[in-house]
Structure 1
Amino acid sequence: MRSDPHGSAFDGPDPVATTAAGSGPSASAGPTSDRPGEAHDLARARRQLLAGGSRNHRLDAPSLRHALVDLHEFWLTTKGNELGIRPDSGFAIVAVGGLGRREMLPYSDLDLILLHDDVDPALVSEVADQLWYPLWDAHIKLDHSVRTVPQALQVASTDLTATLGMLEARHIAGDVELSHLLIGGVRRQWRTGIRSRFDELVDQARTRWARSGQIAHRAEPDLKNGRGGLRDVQLLNALSIAQLTDGMPGLGPDAPGGGLALAHRRLLDVRTELHRVAGRSRDQLRAQDADEIGAALRIGDRFDLARTLSDCARTIGYSVDVGLRTAGNSLPRRGLSKLRGIPVRRPIDEGVVEHAGEVVLARDARPKRDPGLVVRVAAASATTGMPISASTLGRLSDSAPELREPWPKGALSDLLVLLGAGSRAIPTIEALDRTGLWGRLLPEWGAVRDLPPRDAVHTWTVDRHLVETVAQAGGMATRVARPDLLLLGALLHDIGKGRGGDHSEVGAELAAQIGGRLGLWPSDITLLTEMVRHHLLLAQTATRRDLDDPATVQMVVDKLGGDALLLELLHALAEADSLATGPGVWGDWKSSLIGELVRRCRLTMAGETLPVPDPIDPMLVDLAADGGVHVALDPGTSPHTYTVTVVAPDTPGLLSHEAGVLALNSLRVLSASLGSHGGAAINSFVVAPRFGSPPQAGLVRQELIRAIGGEIDVLDLLDVKEEEALARQVLEDRTGAAVPVQYSQAPPRVIWFDVTGGDASQGEAIVELRAEDRLGMLSRLARVFERNGADVRWARVSTLGSSVVDAFCISMADGGTRARREQLESAILAVVPAPEPRKDEPAAE
């Protein structure tokens, strides 16, 4: 008598347990004449379905899956009835895996559980043999187990993989009550124990993603295990069964592209055809099979198939992000977390608040009446590092109107804040894109969305490459005089792809169109257009032409029209573009060649334009004659912006007091023009309230008089306010670890320009600061100048997204020696945000 093929893994009287997947005796392991051969008919029917079906007609992918499900269910039901597996027999056949989900693929394993109600082991073994052996003899891959309900529940309580499989179990034949005991018991056990198993579930998913990569950005993706694959859909189903999320978190059927359900079906169709083309079970889509699969599904060639897969995977990936976040927030609280109470809603910006670690709309927000709310929400998400809640994205998608053309200045400023957030902008833009909001802001984005690269050196799809370039450019914002144009150029440099023709020329036309819609000045539109048109010029020239040939340098200078600013922007864009393309694209060799080309072009162009002060309004000159303190607050040229004009005696520390009072009243300085006349300072600030309405001009005047009189120290108050803000912007993950969410993206720079013909003895110079913004930045800088004996004659202050480009014309009492300049520069750098520490470097103590 042959040995028991099932082995034993349980203590107790029942010797039946699980064997390894697909294992079992071959046809030669024992006599086969006494075992029915109907499974050969099952195998033959499977082959006929794959060959084209009974009517010599090739079934499409969904029909093939349905036919395979029906075929296997019919065989199991018939075979079970023959073996006495009936409603009152104490036996039940339960399907898990593909058959359990009704997603049977051509070469998927048949995953079955034979349940029994503590039946005599000898009978169990006999029934199992007569059920499994015909399948093995027919060479049908089988993953099987034989258990009682308590045994199955015991396995589910300790083995997460087994649990996830049993959550998808489905009754096939036999005692339906026995099947329901298992299915109901596993689901109940999963719901009650999810708090202790959630971390393991997340860790398992992340390990799988790290091993298999992202489907959207792999040449040969793993459709089952990769990020955005079929395993992730099963993960969402498990969270839904645990009652932590709904069935389609984030993206329902009304979402752009059809949402999660359609993405799931498309991915299943591709994997079905992959099995059919490969002639065996396969999870990884090989490049040589892509054209055939794309044609079979009527998608197109391999590039069209890659675009479809990217869309599906990113839709599923976004849904998983939302599902895990929602599930984490929905977990039953225990320990000290029960004492924390209801999460507090904290304001971030006008109409935008933080709630439970997510960016949500304020209760009084009116999306239908506030077109700029979408960009404001996105900017808040990117700068704080908190995700936008799925309900907020859904509400904005349903009701937010399109921005009028040209955009209000506030909306453009918020867009620049978003783009300047570095890598934190990537998940925010991805969330906007998956919900249709990004395409509403940039309709031209549709042509590059999920567009696969034609060159193998590219890591990302074209749209993701653009966003990655923006993230890289954020770290270079202080290297250029116009960080706003650098960020916009990075976002649009490949926008012309996917439309035919030279993508640089097509993109330049689109950039001009987009720049006009965004409300850029005509001169800025011209610069942006030329950036897109010539974004490959430096790299191609430096690596393909002789730099020692004067004609090479002159050719570049001529194409750029001798514009030194355009050259500076293209230099930074070339580096950001290369870094965002793929590993090894940017290196010392390429960097040195482009750097040398740029150096020679600058020498040929020769000369830089110095900043100049803005003219003073004659009416303000008349107002300054009375020697009093005057404050006016008027609506700006766009919604949510205001102009604050201050006329006061030019006393030491006045600028620091003015800027500090504005910051204390939650007024962010977008730009400023500072001047003086006849002993009076005449300063104008364009400001935007961080939230709510601005204070009355009279209140600002009273606080300014108190600051001038020494009754309050604005910098001390600013330090307290900044510490409170940073404390609120620290998120706590599930382990309780604090994670800072606001960093500087680029190292600050201080640039000196002599305005007296290089005679440093007169001590007059222009100091230009390029840095990341912070609370009360202008007030802090003004105090630095005061304490270092530098008198500010005039200034031009610009806040471009999250960056500032501030120019101060100063005179220094001691002549502005090199040592005094170095001392002042060090003091300036001490009050601006420090660069974000690299991940491989420890943060400063």
Structure 2
Amino acid sequence: MRYADDYIDTRLFDAAEFQQRLQTTKSAIPVFRDALKTGDKELNLRFQDNASITEIVGQRGWLIDQILIHMWQQYDWPDQNAVALLAVGGYGRQELHPASDVDLLFLYHDVLDDVTQEYIEQFLTFLWDIKLEVGHSVRTPIDTQAMAADDITVMTNLLEARLLIGSQALFEQLQALIGPEHMWPAKTFFEAKVAEQASRYSRYHDTAYNLEPNIKDGPGGLRDIQTVLWVAKRHFGSPQLQNLFGRGFLTNEEYQLLNECQNFLWKVRYLLHQLTGRHDDRLGFEYQRTIAEKLGYQDTEQHLGVETLMKQYYRTAEEVRQLNEMLLQLFQEAILRPEKNQVKPLNKRFRVCNDLIEVAHDRVFADRPFALLEIFLLLENHPEIKGIRASTVRLLRYYKSSIDDAFRSDLRATSLFYEILCQPQGVTRVLRMMRRYGILDAYIPAFGNIVGQMQYDLFHVYTVDQHTLSVLHNLRCFSIDKHQHEFPLCSKIMAHLPKPELLYLAGLFHDIAKGRGGDHSELGQHDAMAFCQLHSMSPHGSRLVAWLVKNHLLMSVTAQRQDISDPDVIHRFALQVMDLAHLDYLYLLTVADIRATSPKLWNSWKASLLEDLYNRTRHALRDGLSNPIDRQVRIESIKRQANSLLDSTDQVGVDMLWDTLDDEYFLRCSPGDIARETDAILLKAPNEPLVLIPDALKGSTDFTIYTEDRDDLFATTALYLEKQRLNVVAAYIITTKKHCTLLHYTVLEDDSTHLDEKRAEVIRQGLIAACQQPQDFSAIKRHQPSQIKYFTIPTQVEFTIDHSSHHTVMELVTTDRPGVLSRVAQVLQKCGGRLKNAKIATFGSKVEDVFYIIDKEGKPLQLPEQLDCLRTQIKEWLDDTEQQKLQKHVI
């Protein structure tokens, strides 16, 4: 909305009352300050009353105009025709949010006299005194022209310059000097803005789907709309969106959509500025819930209100980005105007024009709806085509509504979609394009439900649709030669996979039921089966896809939460997997899924864990599920192999030591580790702790401690490792029959890598010292991401007694913070429990640890008073944030 010079809003700014106060008050500062506060308060009330956000941002611009004009009039300028005050940038567009920059340009003739210079300095000081933050420059028209010629940002700000008060002649002189006939002609300006946008996108990883998006500069943000307007203004002299559809660049529907998108982004930005009190366009976690509440988004059984807000944001940003892309391409054709279009026919319906695919005529999708899918198959078959021409994109967006149940049942459509999945190249690329233009959402309505769907946590860093497409990208990489060195086992399996398209379908559907409530794996299984049957797939292939969707978390849960050194665990998992084919498909889907969840989630430790589970299960399946491995036979085999690797010739000493160790030690450790540890223990001095670092690294660093048993050993050593900023991902303890303890830790650095040799040796020496002296159990000083405080999770402790394995399983869910493991260890000691094994897992801000615990006699911990002690003490310790309360519990 633009305001004419005679626009008056006395509730926003009452000029008569303002002048009266000026005349009766000694100091003008409180008068101007109060006028600004009163105006802002009125605008906030209008916002709360759901007034048009377009009017509100324009009215704030008008309010600032009045403040500045009346302030200007307080000075007796020597020559009104020698100076001018201009609004530039966003203020020049008369679009101001509560903390938007108020950018000003003071224009003057060749020489700035002393009085005028002093007045300008006083003017700016006065603005700061009334708490109005401004950006300013003081230049001549010639100087301004020179700066604009060298800097596209300066030129862009000036493009929207508006005279507030002062010399009209100076303003017109500047306008003439910076015209396209003197600098930045439309072609050069367009190319510079496109390059600038690409650079801006790269700062945000070329995605609108950031957890804390920048609503102004991020892809799909307000800057994308402004870029379109700037290019249009430079070329057509048209600064208004509504003028573009009159020129054929925007349809009325697109204009309305772009307006709706801008209004939504403006509302979010207005509230963000209110909440922060500063110019901050990052939609941070600390503000998302509040903004959702103020905009009326409410929690439901399926979704939090904040998730609904962010879903709306991501969908809006995607629409803006699409329209921006389409308009810039249309501008490119209009501005750059190639001398001759290079046109090459593909078939009766499509052709290539200047490396872009387009329809042969405007009725293609109306006459042959299946062509809505055919265009993407052609893109796969012709990788030299760079994209889709903007005019055809517009038709895709328009005709996608013709994709209905009849379309989805059409053999031509189902055949085309299945063929798209079967191509040797371009699958991920075209699926992303189909998603971008709404074709994938329309063809698979359930997929449309997850577009923009976020989960309000620090673990899932992508929306569900973006995560799904990333899973497909990861799966495709397994079949590409240049990625073989990254995932050799995955590439080897993929090369022998009979039907990769079944894997892609499983990836496409694995999270498709998220956000509906209930078990998304179970619900997604039914969606996948229905889709496969609709596409006339074989019963075997349909069942495989549905099984993968239902069980896509099975392998990761087994690897990260169960003891995969236990043959019984492997046997149970193998029974669920059933055969080698299911195992191959599931392993590939699991690796791709974990890698696509968060850039920080995948590491060499998880890779080795999954590969270990895969290989163990593969052996079990080859040996036959009806003949599970006998534990004792396996233990004897491992002992024989370890014995052959020993350096020690003291067989009696070896046998005596091995007799003190339980069966789980031999099941868990490799023959090489057993031999190495046995040799070291037999050679160690009495009463001195032994700490070993195994030679083989599997993406992590292992420490094995052998020392005299004592109750606080686990708590003491765990605390030491945490104080060294190490992440413990696994631990197990074996108490020997000679009252010694063998304690094993697997650790990672903060960045999920293994320790280098020098640091590992320092930690080894530190563990030796920790075994010999008590530790200070004061609070651990360790950095954690500030966002975690917005995702606190109440501590939950659950127990399951496993009599067959002679232990109690304690499952802990809590907020990630320094010292969780050592605090649990202290509580175990206090409540009479001992650790047998631990699987440590952190998902964003959420800790999900599994502890296998026993009592001091080596039996399952099951006395009610002991379990109550553990539950109560762990909750109290982990949810207690006051250090003095922690100190009173120190053992």
- Please name the residue that 1:597 is paired with: 613
Give distance in 2, aligned partners of 1:501 and 1:73.
Answer: 55
Amino acid at match of 1:583: P
Deviation at 1:281, TM superposition (A): 2.2
Give distance in 1, aligned partners of 2:457 and 2:249.
Answer: 33
Q: Tell me if structure 2 keeps the 8 A contact 1:113–1:144.
A: yes
Distance 1:37 1:179, change over 3 A: farther
- Please name the residue that 1:462 is paired with: 464
Task: Give 1:361-372 correspondences, 5 Å limit.
Answer: 361-363=359-361, 366-372=364-370
- Please name the residue that 1:499 is paired with: 516
More off after superposition, 229-238 vs 121-130: 121-130
Give distance in 2, aligned partners of 1:253 and 1:198.
Answer: 24
Deviation at 1:388, TM superposition (A): 1.4
More off after superposition, 169-178 vs 475-484: 169-178
Q: Tell me if structure 1 keeps the 8 A contact 2:149–2:183.
A: no
Q: Tell me if structure 2 keeps the 8 A contact 1:228–1:317.
A: yes
- TM-score, scaled relative to structure 1: 0.60
Deviation at 1:325, TM superposition (A): 4.0
Distance 1:494 1:57, change over 3 A: closer
Task: Give 1:302-341 correspondences, 5 Å limit.
Answer: 302-332=306-336, 341=339
Matched, 1:514 2:516: no
Matched residue count: 568
Deviation at 1:449, TM superposition (A): 0.7
Which of 542, 564, 570 is matched with 1:525 structurally?
A: 542
Deviation at 1:332, TM superposition (A): 3.7
Task: Give 1:771-782 correspondences, 5 Å limit.
Answer: none
Amino acid at match of 1:265: N
Task: Give 1:801-840 correspondences, 5 Å limit.
Answer: none
Q: Tell me if structure 2 keeps the 8 A contact 1:504–1:533.
A: yes
Amino acid at match of 2:95: E
Which of 492, 496, 500 is matched with 1:483 structurally?
A: 500
Q: Tell me if structure 2 keeps the 8 A contact 1:423–1:471.
A: no
Deviation at 1:506, TM superposition (A): 1.2
How big is each residue's C-alpha offset from its partner over 1:106-138, in whole Å with a ceiling of 9 and x where there is no partner?
A: 122321123346687356435534643421332
- Please name the residue that 1:45 is paired with: 35
Amino acid at match of 1:277: L
Deviation at 1:495, TM superposition (A): 0.2
Give distance in 2, aligned partners of 1:564 and 1:467.
Answer: 26
SS for the counterpart of 2:524 is: helix
SS for the counterpart of 1:243 is: helix
How big is each residue's C-alpha offset from its partner over 1:32-59, in whole Å with a ceiling of 9 and x where there is no partner?
A: x9x9954543432333355566979946
Deviation at 1:458, TM superposition (A): 2.8
Matched, 1:65 2:57: yes
Amino acid at match of 1:473: L
Q: Tell me if structure 1 keeps the 8 A contact 2:208–2:218.
A: no
Give distance in 2, aligned partners of 1:106 and 1:289.
Answer: 16
Give distance in 1, aligned partners of 2:417 and 2:276.
Answer: 47
- Please name the residue that 1:402 is paired with: 403
Deviation at 1:326, TM superposition (A): 4.1
Distance 1:397 1:290, change over 3 A: closer
More off after superposition, 211-220 vs 456-465: 211-220
RMSD between aligned residues: 3.8
> Larger RCO: Structure 1 or Structure 2 (Cα < 8 Å, ≥ 6 residues apart)?
1
Q: Tell me if structure 2 keeps the 8 A contact 1:95–1:112.
A: yes
Deviation at 1:273, TM superposition (A): 1.0
Q: Tell me if structure 2 keeps the 8 A contact 1:397–1:435.
A: yes
Which stretches in structure 2 are left out of the alignment for 5+ residues? 1-22, 299-304, 480-493, 625-891
Distance 1:206 1:37, change over 3 A: farther
Deviation at 1:457, TM superposition (A): 2.8
SS for the counterpart of 2:95 is: coil
Distance 1:605 1:56, change over 3 A: closer
- Please name the residue that 1:278 is paired with: 276
Give distance in 2, aligned partners of 1:99 and 1:232.
Answer: 17
Give distance in 1, aligned partners of 2:514 and 2:55.
Answer: 36
Task: Give 1:691-730 correspondences, 5 Å limit.
Answer: none
SS for the counterpart of 2:387 is: coil
- Please name the residue that 2:454 is paired with: 452
Matched, 1:242 2:243: no
SS for the counterpart of 2:164 is: strand
How big is each residue's C-alpha offset from its partner over 1:149-171, in whole Å with a ceiling of 9 and x where there is no partner?
A: 34333322122111111112223
Distance 1:412 1:593, change over 3 A: farther
Give distance in 2, aligned partners of 1:604 and 1:350.
Answer: 56
Distance 1:37 1:148, change over 3 A: farther
Which of 466, 472, 475 is matched with 1:473 structurally?
A: 475
Distance 1:238 1:66, change over 3 A: closer
Task: Give 1:427-442 correspondences, 5 Å limit.
Answer: 428-442=430-444
Matched, 1:225 2:217: yes
How big is each residue's C-alpha offset from its partner over 1:726-763, in whole Å with a ceiling of 9 and x where there is no partner?
A: xxxxxxxxxxxxxxxxxxxxxxxxxxxxxxxxxxxxxx
Distance 1:289 1:474, change over 3 A: same
Matched, 1:106 2:98: yes
Give distance in 2, aligned partners of 1:464 and 1:267.
Answer: 21
Q: Tell me if structure 1 keeps the 8 A contact 2:62–2:94.
A: no
- Please name the residue that 1:569 is paired with: 585
SS for the counterpart of 1:497 is: coil
Amino acid at match of 1:484: E
Amino acid at match of 2:226: Q
Give distance in 1, aligned partners of 2:621 and 2:103.
Answer: 73
Amino acid at match of 1:311: R
